[in-house]
Amino acid sequence: MRYINKKNLSLLTSHELINHPISSDIEENISGLKKILFNCSDAVFREFTFGSRGHKGLVLYFDGLTDRREIEENIIKPLILEIGMVNIDPGLEDQGHLFLKIKNSIVAVAEVKELSTLGEIVHHISSGDTILIIDGYDRALSAGTRSWQTRSIQTPDNEVVIFGPKEGFSETLRFNTALLRRRIKSSNFKIEAFILGRVTKTDVVLCYVEGIAPPGLVEEVKARLKRIDVDGILDSAMLEEFIVDHKNTIFSQVEHTEKPDRVAAHLLEGRVGIMVDGSPMAIIMPISFPQFWLSPEDYYNNYIPASLFRMLRFVAFWISLLLPSLYVAVITFHHEMIPTALYLTIAATRQGVPFPAFIEAILLEITFELLREAGLRLPRAVGPAVSIVGALIIGDAAVRAGLVSTPMVVIVAATGIASFVTPAYNAGIINRIARFGFLAASSVLGFLGIMIVLILMLTRMASLSSLGLPYLSPLAPANLEQMTDVVVRRPWFSNLHRPYLEGMQNYVRQNRQGGGEKH
C-alpha cells in the first residue's frame, strides 16, 4: 500500500488528500486530517496513549453529532484501563493482532467498521460516527456513536386524517426507515442505500418489496439515482426533476407523503419509495394522476362513505378547475343558457363594474392566491387569521367600491374551497396553474375555448408516463377492474386485490435510456 509521507504531504491539497489511503504513521494521518478539516472548529482530535508499550491513539469526531458519554465509556476508557488485561504476543502486534483485539474485544460499541482512506474517515465523522486511529496500522475503526437533536415523531401537518395512524416522518432517515420496518416485517422488504451530492454526501435510500415490485422497475430507479451528479441534495423533492420521465411539464409524476402507512401501502402495490436524510417527505413512484384523488383515510373508513367522499373529491376537482372559466364563458358569450331571472340579477350586480368578467376573475384569483401564500408563509399563530380576515375585508371592500361583482366573489370563493378538497398538495398546484389557462381561453372563445384547452390538457396527460406507467391509468388506457378502486373504494372483503401496476415489466425496454424528455 502507498503511504502518505511528511515530505510531500504539505504539497497536497485537501481535495487530493481525500483520496489518499490511511498511513501507518499516526502523525501523518493527524497532519492530513487537520489539513482536510482546516477551520472546522467543531472537529475534536483526542490523542492519547494506551497499553504497556505506550501505543499512540487518536479519537476523532465532530462535536454535536456524537454521544460523548459513549465515546468516553466505550472507547477511550476501555483502551486506557482495560487493554493491559488483554494478552497479546508482542511478536504478533505488527501482524495486526492488536488492531483485531481492539476491534473485537475492547471497543464496546454495537456498530464497528474498518476504514482504509481519509475520505472514508471524513464521511463517517460527518455522519456522527467516531474514528479510532492506532499508530502502526494503515486502517481505522469507525464506531457508531451517532446522537444529535432531532424532531420527535409527530402528526403530519400536511396530511391530516381522522381515522388511521397519526405518525409522520421526521428529518432523521434512520427513524423513518424504522417506521416502515415496523409495518413491513418481511425479509423481502429491502432498503438500499446511496450517497448523493459531491459536497453534501447525502444519504438516500430506495425502499421496495422484493417479489412484489417488478425487478426492472427497481433497476431503472437505481440507474437514474446513480446518474445524478450535483453538488448537494437537501430534500427529496430535489430528486424529482432528475428521475422522472418528463421534465418540462407542470404535471407531477411522483407522489409526496409524510405518512409511513401510506408509503407501506404503495410498496405493497409494487411501487418504490425514496427517502432522503434531512427530509420528512418520501416520494413514491410510479404514479398515475387519478391517484392524487385518493386519501389514505379512505382505506380506514367504511367503503360506502369512503366511496362517496372520493366521488365528492372528483367533483370538487372539476369545480376548482373549470367553474371560473365556465362563469366567464356564460357571462361573455352564452347569455341564453342562464334563466332570465338569474341573468337579470347578475346584470344588476355588474352595473358600474368597470372591468369585463375575465379581468374580474383574474384579479380575484390572483388576490386569492396571494392570500393563500401569505397564510402559508406567515407564523402559524397569525397565518389563518390573516388569510380569512383578508379575504373577507378585501372581498367586501372590492364589491362596495364597484371593482368586482358579488357573483364573481362567490364563484372564486367556491373555487378556492373546492381546491382545498384535493388530498395531494402537488396535484392542487397543477389545478391552480391550469385554471388560468382555461380562464384565458373562455374569455376569447367561450365554451369552444374551454373544450380546446381541455382536449390539449388531456392529450398532454395521456402522452405522459411515470416510469413507464401511463399517467392517466387506469382511465386511459381503460381498465375496468382497476377502476373499481379509483372512482370508488373497493371493499376489503372482495376477492379482488387493490390495483396492481400492470404492464410495468415492459417499462425497461421503453425507458432504458432514462425515458421521456431531457433537460
Q: How far is Cα of residue 501 from the mean position of the Cα atoms in its chain?
A: 22
pLDDT, tens only, 268-302: 989 999 999 989 999 999 998 988 888 888 888 88
How many C-beta atoms lie closer than 10 Å to residue 90's C-beta? 10
CA angle 423, 428, 430 (to 5 degrees): 140
pLDDT given at position 10? 55
Contact 505, 216 (CB under 8 A): yes
pLDDT given at position 89? 55
Contact 317, 490 (CB under 8 A): no
Question: What letter represents residue 10's amino acid?
Answer: S
Q: What's the number of CA atoms in the CB half-sphere (13 Å) around residue 51?
A: 18
pLDDT: which is higher, 478 or 233 = 233
pLDDT, tens only, 32-87: 899 888 888 999 999 988 877 778 899 999 998 898 889 988 898 888 887 655 55
Domain spans of the chain, in order of start: 6-143, 173-286, 299-500
Residue 181 has pLDDT above 90, yes or no: yes
Residue 451 binned pLDDT confidence (cut-offs 50, 70, 90) = very high
Residue 109 has pLDDT above 80, yes or no: yes
Pairwise CA distance, residues 119 & 36, whole Å: 9
pLDDT given at position 395? 75
Measured torsion, CA atoms of residues 102, 103, 104, 105, in degrees rounded to the nearest 10: 30
Contact 427, 318 (CB under 8 A): no
pLDDT given at position 97? 77
pLDDT given at position 387? 66
Residue 411 has pLDDT above 70, yes or no: yes
Q: How far is Cα of residue 363 from the mean position of the Cα atoms in its chain?
A: 34
